[in-house]
Amino acid sequence: MSKLYIFGIGGTGSRVLKSLTMLMAAGVKVRDTSGQCYEIVPIVIDPDHAAADLTRTVKLMRDYKKVRNRIDFNTASANTFFANDINLNVFSEHSNITMNLGNTQDTDFKTYIGWAAMQEANSALASMLFSDNNLNSMMDVGFKGNPNIGSVVLNQFAASTEFRDFAASFAQNDRIFIISSIFGGTGASGFPLLLKNLRAISNNINGNGLIKKAPIGAVSVFPYFEVSVADNSQINSSTFISKTKAALSYYDKNMTEANILYYIGDNVSKQYDNSEGGTTQQNDAHFIELAAALAIVDFAQIPDDQLNTKVDSKTNTGVPETVEYKEFGIIRETSEIIFSDMDIVTQTLIKKPMTQFFLFCKYMNEQIASSTRQTWAISNNFDSAFLCSAFYQSDLSGIKDAYLEWLAEMSKNHRAFTPYELKTGNNLFRSVKGEKPKKTWFKDNYVLFDATLNNTRTNGEPEHRFVELFYKATEKLVKRKFNM
């Protein structure tokens, strides 16, 4: 199985990884041109290890991994929920997906650069390059929208143990994708540095030859939200556009190492609370992050012969033969996006799997407690003991809760993604906006759902049977009711 290494830089990187995990849970496959699923290897680069956006993503991925480990993906399995495997153990020294940035915890930037030991001329130069606020900024909550700080700190990761672990695990036919924002501090500085370090990786590092020539894609996220004004904060969203313009000017002249670069953003902004980092940095999910995750799915399916890279004999760096640029758009201007507002290619990719998983989550949330006397539950021994198991109560229910919360958060933005009526009561099949459900002779809603479950068969271990049963049943239901 080939691997797709996904570097998520800063808070935006974590949030896009979260959206990608939701899509994969729903059965959207990240696969190559032959149809084989990639093993996803997430690597987060963010000094703010306590950021709520990061910790939520890490928990989600761990729950995903636990669920997937109990599902049998043999050739006879019809299920595509959780189809992509996730590798959360690429680093030898710890089992976290976060790449450590040494000497950034509990220290300010002035200490980090060794200000006290500098000669007068060097400290004077540093004073010209960095403001007093820059010099006194604490490093453990990120770079607070200051790419000049980030470029100094992040330049070290190529020498880290984690970077060597990544390189040593890299194999033929593996690919790399980078997620970053262009208007902040961590992403804007980390993306160019990471890309250059990949293409110019040292010959002393195992795997260097494969990485220099590897297909590399990246999504650069433009401003799509604002933050409230706070007198004591260094983050000011009024500077987002000017920072974006400055970064784009640099990218235009210098960023030639990626085979394909995706751009995405929105001029309709949501305002979040101004948080410089830590446990209070928890932004609601946004459609832009979902669209950015779709860039990863698109990149994975591009044929190898369109992503050729050679090694320049003079510089010993990887140089793509061509650099392609892509953007994402919806087919009509609207403040409430539903599936029919998307291009048919995107609809075909996500509408059916997301709807199946939505119905699965709704059943678990609203109906499962009263289902233990149903034929499908009795015949499979899905009794109260199963529903009290760690697999159901913690792992699968954790994914269910996160998925419904993710949809709810995206529906509250000024540019909302709201394809479902989330609070439909018993009108289950009227919950898909823009879709008129077909009438059936059978009683509808959960009665029809239970009847479909009763007429669906699965084999294998209980956890596998449960997930595949709901995959098969929801597939029948979306075909019967919506012709998906």
Q: What percent of the chain has pLDDT above 70? A: 77
Q: What is the pLDDT of residue 4?
A: 98
Q: What is the pLDDT of residue 182?
A: 82
Looking at the predicted structure, is the pLDDT value of residue 116 above 70? no
Q: What is the pLDDT of residue 230?
A: 41
- Quick one: pLDDT band at residue 273, thresholds 50, 70, 90? very low
Q: What is the pLDDT of residue 305?
A: 94
Look up the CATH number of domain 3-105+140-329.
Answer: 3.40.50.1440
Looking at the predicted structure, is the pLDDT value of residue 288 above 90? yes
Q: What is the pLDDT of residue 280?
A: 42
Phi, psi values for residue 316, rounded to 5°: 60, 35
Looking at the predicted structure, is the pLDDT value of residue 275 above 70? no
In the chain, CATH 3.40.50.1440 covers 3-105+140-329
The tokens for 136 are 């006194």
Mean pLDDT in residue range 159-169: 88
Q: Are 336 and 348 in contact (CB under 8 A)?
A: no
- Quick one: pLDDT band at residue 194, thresholds 50, 70, 90? confident
110 vs 313, more confident: 313
Return the residue matching tokens 């033929």: 172
- Quick one: pLDDT band at residue 54, thresholds 50, 70, 90? confident
Mean pLDDT in residue range 347-354: 97
Q: What is the pLDDT of residue 240?
A: 61
Query: Of 414, 399, 438, nearest to 71 (Cα)?
Result: 399
- Quick one: pLDDT band at residue 136, thresholds 50, 70, 90? low
Q: What is the pLDDT of residue 274?
A: 40
Q: Quote the mean pLDDT of the chain.
A: 84
Q: What is the pLDDT of residue 363?
A: 95
Q: What is the pLDDT of residue 423?
A: 81
Looking at the predicted structure, is the pLDDT value of residue 354 above 90? yes
Query: Of 415, 419, 391, nearest to 403 (Cα)?
Result: 419
Q: What percent of the chain has pLDDT above 90? A: 56
Q: What is the pLDDT of residue 345?
A: 95
Mean pLDDT in residue range 136-144: 55
Q: Are 9 and 188 in contact (CB under 8 A)?
A: no
User: Which SS3 state, helix, strand or coil, does residue 275 take?
Assistant: coil
399 vs 427, more confident: 399
Total-model pTM:
0.88
Q: What are 358-384's pLDDT values in tens digits?
A: 999 999 999 999 898 999 999 999 999
DSSP 372: T
* DSSP output for 6-20: EEEEHHHHHHHHHHH
